[in-house]
């Protein structure tokens, strides 16, 4: 690059997005990203090519006999979804109670969860009943995800975001003061291009005996949804252990908050997420087997309606290879989202990250 060459730097929002994408693909930090981008006139493709070429040269120099290991090419990164030359127009979300408290076939079952997330190319992942051992395994097997655990002990919820697709801005854990089961809410503020999102992942109090506490927790979470800025899309989901009558008893869903299963047509074949008539992981005495819609996804649109659910399905329906167990006693929910990005590159408005109250 010539010392006398005039460089047209992008606006702050675009520069930050390019820095984040460079970091995600190369697994480097902000300083390294800024260096390569500035040296290459903020041309992301050229900066990535030069970075990986430099890595190859260093590997060859350090050991003539060693086989150099290179990072993905730009085309490979684009193909796998790690890098997009444009902000994504769609995302895939999964919420799943992966039953980490059951030690039976735990490693095999967790491996099956990882395989499902990879095969479905899931961008936003809400997991419940995660334990420290399981979380460490997920982090090691899913290097292209940013993984956020609500806690470090007992069991907890965790949210995963696919790098290069969804970017975390801020996280916060809200404990439920009346819980006797260590339950909490993990709130992740994130963005995908111009689309700002609040991702609320939780596991509400279990069993019929704790319905009153569960309803208090639900009201607390719905309150968080309604108080978020109108420019944000709010997605609230997880293992809510919810019964329809409990939603009714708290006054129903607030205005603007939609049950995604209902929005997608209330299809019976994808209604039950804890279905002992189909899922044999748990033994249940007697002939009658319960079927419940414990797991749910609620959506509050932003004022510009930038996110639209287009498909609702279930995952985890196949038994784990080499066993008679399913990945979990719950089916996971998979939601396909359609995004409408605002503006052209370089004209996106500055993001404002507001404190969660």
The gap between the terminal CA atoms of the chain, to the nearest Å, is: 48
3-class SS of residue 262: helix
Distance CA 95, CA 124 (A): 8
* Position with higher pLDDT, 332 vs 72: 332
Report pTM. Answer: 0.77
- pLDDT-derived band at 347, boundaries 50, 70, 90: very low
Task: Check residue 40 and report its DSSP letter.
Answer: T
Q: Which helix (H) or strand (E) holds 52?
A: helix 44-62
Given a cut of 50, is residue 228 above it in pLDDT? yes
Q: Is 252 exposed, middle or buried (0-12, 13-18, 19+ CB in 10 A)?
A: exposed
pLDDT tens digits, 244-256: 999 999 999 999 9
**What is the percentage of the chain residues whose pLDDT exceeds 70?**
85
What DSSP line would sit under 73-98, residue for residue? Answer: -HHHHHHHTS--SS--SEEEEEEEE-
3-class SS of residue 292: strand
Task: Check residue 298 and report its DSSP letter.
Answer: E
Of the listed 99, 123, 198, 239, which one is catalytic?
A: 239
In whole angstroms, how far apart are CA 179 and each of 20, 135, 183? Answer: 37, 23, 6
pLDDT tens digits, 144-163: 999 999 999 999 999 999 99
pLDDT recorded at residue 7: 44
Can 146 be counted among the known catalytic residues? no
pLDDT recorded at residue 1: 40
- Measured CA angle at 51 (ends 50, 53), to 5 deg: 60
**The tokens of 141 are what?**
């097997």
pLDDT recorded at residue 57: 59
Q: Look at strands 257-259 and 295-300 and give their pairing.
A: antiparallel
pLDDT tens digits, 92-120: 999 999 999 999 999 999 999 999 999 99
- Contact criterion met (CB below 8 Å) for 108 and 320: yes
In whole angstroms, how far apart are CA 175 and each of 71, 125, 180, 253? Answer: 40, 20, 11, 22
pLDDT recorded at residue 287: 87
pLDDT tens digits, 169-181: 999 999 999 999 9
**Mean pLDDT for the chain overall:** 88
């Amino acid at each position: 690059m010539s010392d006398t060459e005039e460089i047209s730097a992008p606006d702050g929002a675009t520069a930050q997005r390019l820095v984040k994408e460079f970091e995600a693909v190369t697994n480097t930090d902000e300083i390294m990203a800024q260096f390569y981008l500035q040296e290459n006139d903020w041309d992301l493709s050229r900066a990535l090519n030069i970075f990986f070429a430099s890595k190859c040269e260093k590997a060859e120099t350090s050991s003539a006999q060693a086989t150099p290991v290179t990072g993905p090419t730009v085309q490979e990164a684009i193909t796998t979804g790690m890098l997009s030359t444009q902000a994504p127009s769609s995302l895939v979300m999964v919420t799943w109670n992966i039953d980490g408290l059951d030690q039976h076939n735990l490693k095999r079952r967790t491996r099956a969860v990882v395989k499902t997330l990879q095969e479905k190319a899931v961008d936003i992942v809400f997991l419940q009943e995660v334990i420290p051992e399981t979380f460490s395994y997920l982090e090691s097997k899913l290097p292209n995800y940013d993984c956020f655990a609500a806690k470090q002990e007992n069991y907890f919820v965790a949210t995963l975001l696919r790098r290069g697709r969804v970017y975390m801005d801020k996280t916060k854990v809200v404990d439920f003061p009346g819980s006797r089961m260590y339950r909490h809410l993990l709130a992740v503020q994130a963005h995908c291009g111009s689309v700002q999102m609040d991702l609320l992942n939780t596991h509400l109090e279990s069993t019929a005996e704790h319905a009153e506490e569960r309803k208090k927790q639900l009201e607390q979470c719905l309150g968080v949804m309604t108080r978020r800025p109108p420019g944000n899309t709010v997605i609230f989901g997880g293992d809510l252990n919810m019964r329809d009558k409990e939603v009714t008893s708290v006054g129903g869903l607030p205005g603007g908050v939609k049950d995604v299963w209902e929005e997608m047509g209330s299809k019976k074949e994808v209604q039950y997420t804890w279905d002992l008539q189909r899922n044999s992981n748990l033994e249940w005495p007697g002939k009658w087997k319960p079927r419940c819609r414990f797991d749910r996804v609620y959506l509050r649109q932003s004022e510009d309606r930038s996110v639209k659910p287009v498909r609702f399905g279930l995952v985890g329906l196949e038994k784990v290879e080499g066993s008679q167990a399913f990945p979990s006693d719950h089916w996971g929910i998979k939601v396909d989202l359609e995004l409408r990005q605002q503006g052209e590159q370089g004209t996106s408005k500055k993001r404002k990250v507001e404190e969660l109250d």
